Amino acid sequence: MNELTVTYYGHPFDVSGYGEACRATIHALDRAGVQLSLVDLSGHAKRGTDPFLGTLLNRRVPPDFHLFHGIPPDWAGRGFPLRNVIAMTVWETNKMPSQWRNILNHAIDVWLPCQFNRQVFDGALEKPTFVLPHPLPQNFPPPQGGNSCPLNGLTSGKFVFYSVFEWQDRKNPKGILEAYLRAFSDNDPTLLVLKTNASAACAAQATLADARGRLQSGASVEIRAEEWTHAQINALHDLGDCYVSLHRGEGWNYPLFEAAARGTPVVSTAFSGPLDYLDPAAHRFVRWNPAPVLQPYRFYHRSMQWAEPDPTHAAEQLRWVFEYRDSARCSAAAAALTLRERFSPESVGQSAVNRMLALLQRTQPDRWQEIARSRQPASLEPSLPIPPEWFDRNYFETGRKSNWERGYNWTNFGSLFKETAEFLAEMFPEADSFLDAGCSMGFLVRALRENGKAAWGVDASHYALAHSDVSVRQFIEQHRVEEHSPSRRYSMLLAFSILESLTPAQIQQFLTRARAFTDHAIFAVINCSEDPERPGTRSRSDRDLSHVTMRSRAWWHDQFVQAGWRQDLMCRHVQRLCQRHSLATRMGWETFLYAS
**CATH of residue 190:** 3.40.50.2000
Same domain? For 428 and 566 the reply is yes
Same domain? For 500 and 566 the reply is yes
Domains contained in the chain, number: 3
Rounded to an integer, what distance in angstroms lies between the CA atom of residue 98 and that of residue 105?
A: 12
Rounded to an integer, what distance in angstroms lies between the CA atom of residue 367 and that of residue 205?
A: 58
Same domain? For 563 and 508 the reply is yes
Rounded to an integer, what distance in angstroms lies between the CA atom of residue 378 and that of residue 579?
A: 36
Domain boundary among 111, 131, 151: 131
Same domain? For 182 and 317 the reply is yes
Same domain? For 176 and 104 the reply is no
Taking the CA atoms of residue 255, residue 65, residue 349 and residue 416 in that order, the dihedral angle to the nearest 10 degrees is 100
- Domain that residue 186 falls in: 159-342
Rounded to an integer, what distance in angstroms lies between the CA atom of residue 91 and that of residue 293?
A: 13
DSSP designation for 196: E
Is pTM beyond 0.85? Reply is: no
Residues 535-573 have pLDDT tens digits of 667 777 788 999 999 999 999 999 999 999 999 999 999
Same domain? For 127 and 172 the reply is no
The answer as to whether 374 is a domain residue is no
Sort strands 530-531 and 534-538 into parallel, antiparallel or unpaired.
antiparallel
With 0-12 / 13-18 / 19 or more C-beta atoms within 10 angstroms meaning exposed / middle / buried, residue 588 is exposed
Phi/psi at 264 (5° precision) = -80, 135
Residues 442-497 have pLDDT tens digits of 999 999 999 999 999 999 998 898 888 888 999 999 999 998 989 999 999 999 99
CATH code of the domain covering residue 566:
3.40.50.150
The answer as to whether 253 is a domain residue is yes
Same domain? For 40 and 183 the reply is no
DSSP designation for 92: -
∠ CA 567-588-583, nearest 5°, is 85
The answer as to whether 398 is a domain residue is no
The answer as to whether 320 is a domain residue is yes
Same domain? For 109 and 202 the reply is no
CATH code of the domain covering residue 114:
3.40.50.11930
Same domain? For 435 and 546 the reply is yes
> Using an 8 Å Cβ cutoff, are 87 and 70 in contact?
no
**Would you say residue 1 has pLDDT above 80?**
no
Rounded to an integer, what distance in angstroms lies between the CA atom of residue 449 and that of residue 445?
A: 6
Residues 164-202 have pLDDT tens digits of 999 999 999 999 999 999 999 999 999 999 999 999 999
The answer as to whether 140 is a domain residue is no
In three-state secondary structure terms, 493 is strand
Domain boundary among 315, 342, 369: 342
Residues 373-402 have pLDDT tens digits of 776 655 688 888 898 888 988 899 888 899
The region of weakest confidence among 165-169, 247-251, 351-355 is: 351-355
The answer as to whether 390 is a domain residue is no
So what's the pLDDT on residue 215? Answer: 96
Same domain? For 261 and 180 the reply is yes
Rounded to an integer, what distance in angstroms lies between the CA atom of residue 107 and that of residue 170?
A: 29
Same domain? For 110 and 167 the reply is no
**Cα separations in angstroms, 585 against 363, 404, 541, 556, 582:** 24, 20, 19, 20, 5
Same domain? For 255 and 119 the reply is no
> Using an 8 Å Cβ cutoff, are 108 and 47 in contact?
no
So what's the pLDDT on residue 378? Answer: 57
**Cα distance between the two ends of the chain:** 54
The answer as to whether 529 is a domain residue is yes
The answer as to whether 83 is a domain residue is yes
